[in-house]
Amino acid sequence: MRKLLIVLLLAPLCGWAAEAGYRLDSSPHDPHDLISLQAGARTFVNYCLGCHGLEYMRYGDLTDLGLTEAQIRNYLMFTADKISEPIRTVMPRREAKSWFGVTPPDLSLAARARSADWLYTYLRAFYRDPKTVTGWNNALFENVAMPHALWTLQGERAYDRESRKWTEIAKGMQSPAEYDATVRDLVNFLVYVGEPAATTRKVIGIVALYALAIFFVFTYLLKKEYWKDVK
């Protein structure tokens, strides 16, 4: 019974590991970096929103990233008329499925479902593959239906799965370091979207633990005072 329980607990992890046998890189995102979050939001609406939405996030919620409503309307609000509307994609679901074979998923909870490390690695692991419908493949997610939306920034690369070696085909608009920074910001934004209150929740949790520790001291002293004459 114990062995069966261990197998069941480890099964999801094994599935992820076997997804491509590709090592995950650690995501250097920082939820406290507002400049990074703003840059990630800009990258998302310019390169991802055509296929993927964030239906659990409203445009107005982006003011929490230090943006004004005017900035959101002028530079980020491409798929809505009112700032109170959700961040939805304009791509029709039926057409999207016929084009890619699957409907592009909403990414509101992508970071929580996959992890920041997975997204950071995935977005940096695309390569040219003439055998696929889109002409792209991914070293982490083999035979992925999604094309490389950021290829103009990263450039084009080839990948040999047997030797696990990368080869540059054509340069992009960004250097490798600049592209990694762009992906970091995008992942940072998706992590934020998955749980906007995460930073506040953690701060409240730490304060609550300190408060409980202080109350414990007073409770212990009060208990000693009440029971000091009891033998």
Q: Are residues 132 and 97 in the same domain?
A: yes
2 in a structural domain: no
Q: What is the pLDDT of residue 198?
A: 58
Give the structural domain span for 202: 198-231
Residue 4 domain-assigned (yes or no): no
Q: Considering the domain boundaries, does residue 26 fall inside one?
A: yes
54 Cβ neighbours under 8 A, 6+ residues apart: 44, 86, 87, 88, 106, 107, 108, 193
Specify whether 173 is located in the same domain as 217.
no
17 domain-assigned: no
What sign results for the dihedral spanned by CA atoms 18, 19, 23, 25?
negative
Same domain, 37 and 137: yes
**185 and 213 together in one domain:** no
Q: What is the pLDDT of residue 222?
A: 78
Residues 156 and 220 in one domain: no
Helix (H) or strand (E) holding 220: helix 198-227
Domains contained in the chain, number = 2
The SS3 of residue 71 is: helix
Q: What pLDDT is attached to residue 196?
A: 85
> What is residue 187's predicted lDDT score, i.e. its pLDDT?
98
Question: Is there a domain that residue 14 lies in?
Answer: no
The one-digit pLDDT tens for each residue of the chain (231 residues) are 443 333 333 334 333 443 558 999 999 999 999 999 999 999 999 999 999 999 999 999 999 999 999 999 999 999 999 999 999 998 887 787 777 788 899 999 999 999 999 999 999 999 999 999 899 999 999 999 999 999 999 999 999 999 999 999 999 999 999 999 999 999 999 999 999 865 556 656 676 777 788 877 878 777 777 777 765
Q: Is residue 168 part of a domain?
A: yes
In a domain, residue 166? The reply is yes
B/e letters for 155-186, b = 16+ CB within 10 Å, e = fewer, are bbbebeeeeeeeeeeeebebeeeebbebbbbb
Alpha-carbon span 206 to 223, nearest angstrom? 26
134 alpha-carbon distance from chain centroid? 23
Residue 226 has which token pair? 């009440």
Same domain for 226 and 128, yes or no, is no
What pLDDT is recorded for position 209?
A: 78
Q: Are residues 185 and 227 in the same domain?
A: no
Contact between 173 and 94 under an 8 Å Cβ cutoff? The reply is: no
Q: Is 68 exposed, middle or buried (0-12, 13-18, 19+ CB in 10 A)?
A: exposed
